[in-house]
Amino acid sequence: MTQTEALTSTENKMIPTHVAIIMDGNGRWANSRGLPRLFGHQAGSKNVRKIITACLERGIKFLTLYTFSSENWSRPSFEVKGLMTLIGDYIDREAPKLHKLGVRFLHLGRKDELPQSLQNKIRKAVDLTCNNLGITVCVALNYGGRNDIVDAVKSILNSGLKPEEVNEEKIAEHLGTNGIPEPDLVIRTSGENRLSNFLVWETAYSELFFTPTLWPDFSAEILDQALQSFAQRKRRFGGLDVSTANTTSSLET
């Protein structure tokens, strides 16, 4: 879909500023085809640029992708090693292409626990794209929502703040997502109806969309279904109807 077509298809709808996606189902996609799980991860990685491009075309400003959770280290070592290699190769291959599209990369998670070579590739991609204004893609890699809150608490303690000085704003300032708007819409693929320790603090008022589609099969058309569902919801944030809060018109440039 071209940008013009994307804008036409979502005309007069409210587009979320920040969409977060739990990319689930790669392993089941492979198993259903009698293939090793890593083949599913490879298929899923090929879908990432398509969805980034689709979000860019639809005027979404922030996209967070749950790529590898802090709990995923418990998977078989050969699968984890294969994933680290796959992610590193993807960054090497795709970062220059996405840079040309105006994509800015950010990393969420405990980077220092990743292989050094992968840390270097992440840093290179972040530096390459730091001035881009098209869409910010936050890659949640070795990320856990509870870990991020723990790290924020440690940072607050180290900063010397007094207990009476700690509030929601101070905690948010010490999270890895500081400076990034909270997700308006969270999408999870594969039919699982839970958040799995993803953006625990930030999703307090996010709208949720669950689809049975496995991540390698997730398409721009299903993204549009999620956006249509979002546009029909009334967001109250615990109060009155503020359905237009934290959104941008699809007709804005």
Candidates 121, 240, 106, 236; CA nearest to 176 is 106
Candidates 145, 242, 137, 228; CA nearest to 194 is 145
Query: Does 241 qualify as catalytic in the annotation?
Result: no
The pTM of the full predicted model, rounded to 2 decimals, is 0.88
Q: What is the DSSP letter of 104?
A: E
pLDDT at 251 over 50: no
Query: Among the listed ranges 36-40, 92-96, 238-242, which one has the minimum average pLDDT value?
Result: 238-242
DSSP labels for 53-65? HHHHHTT--EEEE
Asked if residue 227 is part of any domain, the answer here is yes
Interval 124-146 mean pLDDT: 98
Residue 242 pLDDT level (bands cut at 50, 70, 90): low
Asked if residue 201 is part of any domain, the answer here is yes
Query: Does 72 qualify as catalytic in the annotation?
Result: yes
Q: Which residue of the set 26, 31, 47, 72 is catalytic?
A: 72
Asked if residue 129 is part of any domain, the answer here is yes
Q: How far apart are CA 69 and CA 67, in angstroms?
A: 7
The total of structural domains in the chain comes to 1
The residue segments making up the domain with residue 89 are: 17-249
Asked if residue 28 is part of any domain, the answer here is yes
Asked if residue 9 is part of any domain, the answer here is no
Q: How far apart are CA 99 and CA 119, in angstroms?
A: 18
Instruction: Return the CATH number at 113.
Output: 3.40.1180.10
Q: What mean pLDDT is reported for the chain?
A: 92
